[in-house]
Structure formats: C-alpha cells, structure tokens
Amino acid sequence: MGSLSFLYFGTVIVLTAVLVVALRKPMYSVIALLVMFFHIAGLFVTLHAEFLAAVQLIVYAGAILVLYLFVVMLLNVKEDDSYQRQFRLGMGLGLLALAEVVYIVSAAGLPEEPVRERATAAVSAGNTETVGRALYTTYLFPFEVASLILLVAMIGAIFMAKKGMMGPETPKAVQAVESK
C-alpha cells in the first residue's frame, strides 16, 4: 500500500516536472506545475506531514501559482520556438549530476525503515501541534526572521512594480504599442 502510493505520486511528479520544462507554452507549463504541487502534497500526506500538505496546497497552488498565471497572462508571453543553444550541454550536465546523485544515494546506506514507529507522542499530539510547538519554541528567532523576509519582499515587489520607479517614464512596451 505504502509503496503503491509512492509509485503513483512519484511517477506523476516526475512526469509533470519534465512537462514543466519541456512544454513550449508557459501557460501549459504552469498548469503542469499545478498538478505537480497537488501530487507533492499527496506525498507529504503519506509521509505524515499533514500540516505541510495543507500549506503546500494553500501557499504554492493557491498563491504562488496564481501569481505566475497572472504574470503569464498579463505579459501575453509568446511560446518559445526553440530551446537555448546550449541544449545538449545542459542535458548532458543534468544526466551527469543525476547519475552522481544516484550513485551516492545507493552507496550511502540510508535507513530502509523509519527509525521509530510513529505511535509515539509526536503522532498522538497531532502533526500540526508538533510543528507549531517546534516553530514557536526552538525556532522562534528564525520564525521572526522569516516574517521580516516577507516584509522586505512585499516592499520590494511594490517598489519595483510601481510605475516610474524603474526605467523611463513612458515604458518601451507602451512606446512600441503607440508607434504601431
């Protein structure tokens, strides 16, 4: 049962990941990424990380992907007619890196089973409660730093996307449309 669900989720994740990179139209790539996020959330559930599965769906599928869709539609991106000219080099390097990782993982002697059966305190308290407790006690300072990162990103995004802050007053994109 456990390996069957891993097989399903793993297959779909790999397929959609390849589709994200291979598909020519950005819109299709974003949709493939959406399917991949859903299946990664499923994989998290089988690994007893229910809180992260929910966060994955809400933040990645709900917020980040909508931002991508928004920008793809806003900029009216054309489909790529070709890949970069270093296509072969990139594929070769990727395969090399993959072979290296597979070799290291197979030689590392990783545990086959979870070190402890999960019928312990961590499970009886619930996943969300365990994560929350760790987040607000041991990792309190990184948590505050993360909120600062979000604040900086918010201000930075507003600053850069605001008109007239970067580049000329009349943008080139507008000039190109007006001159037609």
Partner 1 sequence: MTPLSSYMILSAIVFVTGVVGVLIRRNIIMILLSIELMLNATNINFVAFSYYLDNVAGQVFVFFALTVAAAEVAVGLAIIIALYRGKATIAAEELNLMKW
Q: Which of 8, 35, 51, 57 binds partner 1 (CB under 8 A)?
A: 51
Assess contact for 30 and 69: CB atoms under 8 A: yes
| 72 binding partner 1? (CB under 8 A) | yes
Chain positions 155 to 174 lying near partner 1, rule: CB under 8 A, are: 156-161, 163, 165-168, 171-174
At closest approach, how far in Å is the CB of 124 from partner 1? 14
Q: Which of 8, 28, 35, 49 binds partner 1 (CB under 8 A)?
A: 49
| 137 binding partner 1? (CB under 8 A) | no
Closer to partner 1 by Cβ: residue 124 or 154:
154
CA separation for the pair 86, 158 (Å, rounded): 35
Q: Is 129 left (phi over 0), alpha (psi -120 to 50) or beta?
A: alpha
| 149 binding partner 1? (CB under 8 A) | yes
| 180 binding partner 1? (CB under 8 A) | no
Site string for partner 1, 52-71 (x = CB under 8 A): x--xx--xx--xx--xx--x
At closest approach, how far in Å is the CB of 64 from partner 1? 5
| 17 binding partner 1? (CB under 8 A) | yes
Site string for partner 1, 82-121 (x = CB under 8 A): xxx-xx-xxx-xxx-xx--xx--xx-x-xxxxxxx-x-x-
